[in-house]
Chains A and B, each alone.
Chain A
Amino acid sequence: AQKITQTQPGMFVQEKEAVTLDCTYDTSDPSYGLFWYKQPSSGEMIFLIYQGSYDQQNATEGRYSLNFQKARKSANLVISASQLGDSAMYFCAMRGGYSTLTFGKGTMLLVSP
Chain B
Amino acid sequence: GAVVSQHPSRVICKSGTSVKIECRSLDFQATTMFWYRQFPKQSLMLMATSNEGSKATYEQGVEKDKFLINHASLTLSTLTVTSAHPEDSSFYICSAPPAGGRNEQFFGPGTRLTVL
| Cβ A101 vs Cβ B46 within 8 A | yes
A59-113 interface (Cβ within 8 A of B): 91, 95, 98-106
A contact residues around B46 at 8 Å (CB): 100-102
B13-49 interface (Cβ within 8 A of A): 32, 34, 38, 42-46, 49
CB distance from A37 to the nearest CB of B (A): 8
**Known: A91-B44, A100-B49, A105-B42. Contact between A43 and B109, CB under 8 A?**
yes
In the complex, whether A50 has a CB less than 8 A from a CB of chain B is yes
Q: Hey, which bits of chain A sit against chain B, CB under 8 A? A: 33, 35, 37, 42-45, 47, 50, 52, 91, 95, 98-106
Q: Hey, which bits of chain B sit against chain A, CB under 8 A? A: 32, 34, 38, 42-46, 49, 91, 93, 95, 97-98, 103-107, 109-110, 112
